[in-house]
Amino acid sequence: MAFGKCAFCASASFLMLVSASVQAEALSECYKNAENRVQVRQCLQKELDQTQREYEEILEKLSAQLSDREGQPYGAGQKKHKRAGGLTSMLSSANSAFELYAKKECGFESAMMGSGTGAGNQMIACRINLLHTRIGALSSFLRFSPGSSGNNQ
């Protein structure tokens, strides 16, 4: 049991480092290429729009994959997916929770910046960061779903 907790802590720590790196990258890239604060904001918004589209594409692919798997047997006992309305419902519920978390977390990070132009940019960079992390997590299910050849992309 202690090993499982340590493994989870290591995984969570790794994800936080990767997330911070993605966020810092988006911010620094925009600051590097922009001549003023308006251009920084436009750059971040463009990155957010692109990341949001990627997120929606992953959700669409995964939802289709899950719909195809609804009711199919899984696991050693060949049970059927019928938990809490099915896998698609579970994904929808998880996404609702993610959206609430993202809103609260990014609001907190923005508030920590204080008033001024940096707070808005922090809000956008946070959203980019969390979406990249969520995209990575959801993508892993596309590639490695049970019964797939691993070429679902």
* pLDDT of the residue at 88: 85
pLDDT digits 0-9 by tens, 96-150? 999 999 999 999 988 988 877 688 888 999 999 999 999 999 998 885 555 544 4
Q: At what angle do helices 2-33 and 37-69 cross, to 10 degrees?
A: 140
Classify residue 117: in a domain, yes or no.
yes
Using the predicted structure, report yes or no on whether residue 26 has a pLDDT greater than 50: yes
Counted domains in the chain: 1
Question: Using CA atoms, how far apart are residues 101 and 85, in angstroms rounded to an integer?
Answer: 23
* pLDDT of the residue at 53: 97
The parent domain of residue 119 ranges over 2-72+81-143
CB distance 110 to 126 below 8 Å: yes
Classify residue 149: in a domain, yes or no.
no
Output the CA angle 20-52-62, nearest 5 degrees: 100
